[in-house]
Chains A and B, each alone.
Chain A
């Protein structure tokens, strides 16, 4: 299969079932909400060592937020509800509670709930107050600029994490530009995030390592510098590979993001230095979701 003379390899991306929650951060000014959203989703590129994969989902206008102030919605993905329950209070306690003028709300509905304000209310040292408004409990924690308002709980829902495609380009500059194009195509979509900066990672990994303590290690088959010494998947003209990783609320959302991202990259054509699109998988034995590139792009 070729799109704009770029070969799409007949393979699939292997993705996993995950758990997700959406939070809404608001503030008096949009840039303060942005700062909190960036901080709370920092160090959240991969569940391998960060516990969660997280990113800003979208900017919200005042008419779209619970308190009528500007805000951002952020998505957090993790391997289990328990892990989310562990990571979220830690992050909001250090990154949202601390950010001036912010308030925090759940942006997801569902039966399974995890603690949000209910976990960090003790920062109020006995002066915290709660209010139930329209059936939802909110915590009011006194802080030095007034009160930090935080919803008591947030819902956790099943999701899909680890959708991906690999961009093989002639050189690093072309590959970076392609990632920018993919990121711009994916960014407006609701319900999906690309947790790595600029949507892509250069350290695509394989499962395991020669060192027992490491759960993952470099994917040497796609390392251009090792092409002559390992069983490589690269050709002599392939100079750089970057992996775009996508997490989404549903399989369809991930597939759509992959399609739009790949199409944006392919628009650059061979003259843009793009040589091939492929995907990362583990032989199909680990992940329950298989995104076949040819089907996704059909």
Chain B
């Protein structure tokens, strides 16, 4: 199997739809096939070779070199393989992903991982609004997989999220976990206002939680022991070393149940 490196020739004028760029197994003769791959820039079809210098590499991943803030839909519908982007990218990254790994070393725009089903996305920088939410027009957000954002995320993270895990290394904006159906969101930093509003089920885990950010429609806080967190902490140690400090602790948390105006089985927990 041969990997590919795409080196940006010059900054792109217009918006690049990167959804056709998906890693797959290639023999050495497959380079030409990649060079001729048609992508859209502001609605115009161009070959990949016009935008990027394409090189074969010995690693299996496809690596994109360059800053691409005006590119969208990287890894959209990705099913397998590993795609690494060494820079900033725009909106709709990793939407509808069904497998594989996506690593973005810069920042990403809105709608990261919307409608994602399987696979893993790691963003080394920040992400904007609606991380793990629903695709426009859809009723349910991400339904599986794992999204890790090392930096901060914007508003409405996990909106209508159905299943899967979202780990945020930094802060989250307002309305995080709003209308959440199920799944787990871990937030290491601060949370914005209206956390979990209209949440039905699912878990928000936040060690730096400010109780003032929890809507009044949640229950009173209660200290409880949650055994499943032992498994959860252990499973996440490889993703974030900070979980290591929780592995050998008794999994006691302060918990708020809610949103009592909806199904009311969601939980916001803060480890003690």
Does B7 count as interface, using CB distance less than 8 angstroms?
no
- What distance in Å separates the Cβ of A85 from its nearest Cβ neighbour in chain B? 24
Q: Could you say which residues of chain A place their CB within 8 Å of the CB of B231?
A: 66-67, 133-134, 138, 149
> A140 to B184, alpha carbons, bound, how many Å?
14
Q: Could you say which residues of chain B place their CB within 8 Å of the CB of A132?
A: 163
> A66 to B247, alpha carbons, bound, how many Å?
12
For chain A residues 232-265, which have a beta carbon within 8 Å of chain B? none
Question: Are B225 and A133 in contact, CB atoms less than 8 angstroms apart?
Answer: no
Question: Are A138 and B228 in contact, CB atoms less than 8 angstroms apart?
Answer: yes
- What distance in Å separates the Cβ of B22 from its nearest Cβ neighbour in chain A? 23
Question: Are B224 and A146 in contact, CB atoms less than 8 angstroms apart?
Answer: yes
> A103 to B227, alpha carbons, bound, how many Å?
8
Does A294 count as interface, using CB distance less than 8 angstroms?
no
Does B59 count as interface, using CB distance less than 8 angstroms?
no
Partner of A146, one of B182, B184, B225, B247: B225
> A130 to B202, alpha carbons, bound, how many Å?
9
Question: Are A68 and B230 in contact, CB atoms less than 8 angstroms apart?
Answer: yes
Partner of B228, one of A68, A127, A149: A149
- Prevailing SS type, chain A contact patch: strand
Whether A147 touches B228, Cβ cut-off 8 Å, given contacts A127-B265, A134-B235, is yes
Whether A131 touches B227, Cβ cut-off 8 Å, given contacts A68-B247, A68-B248, is no
Q: Could you say which residues of chain B place their CB within 8 Å of the CB of A67?
A: 227, 230-231
- What distance in Å separates the Cβ of A103 from its nearest Cβ neighbour in chain B? 5
Q: Could you say which residues of chain B place their CB within 8 Å of the CB of A140?
A: 226-228
Q: Could you say which residues of chain A place their CB within 8 Å of the CB of B265?
A: 127, 129
Q: Could you say which residues of chain B place their CB within 8 Å of the CB of A127?
A: 265
> A147 to B231, alpha carbons, bound, how many Å?
14
Q: Could you say which residues of chain B place their CB within 8 Å of the CB of A68?
A: 230, 234, 247-248
1/0 contact string of B181-222 vs chain A (CB within 8 Å): 010100000000000000001010000000000000000000
Question: Are A131 and B230 in contact, CB atoms less than 8 angstroms apart?
Answer: no
Question: Are A133 and B235 in contact, CB atoms less than 8 angstroms apart?
Answer: yes
- What distance in Å separates the Cβ of B234 from its nearest Cβ neighbour in chain A? 7
Q: Closest B-chain residue to A139, C-beta based?
A: B228
For chain B residues 139-197, which have a beta carbon within 8 Å of chain A? 163, 182, 184
Partner of A147, one of B226, B232, B248: B226
Residues of B within 8 A of A (CB): 163, 182, 184, 201, 203, 224-228, 230-232, 234-235, 247-248, 265, 267
Q: List 15 A-B contacts (CB under 8 A).
A: A69-B230, A129-B265, A131-B184, A131-B228, A133-B235, A134-B231, A134-B235, A138-B231, A146-B224, A146-B226, A147-B224, A147-B226, A149-B227, A149-B228, A149-B231
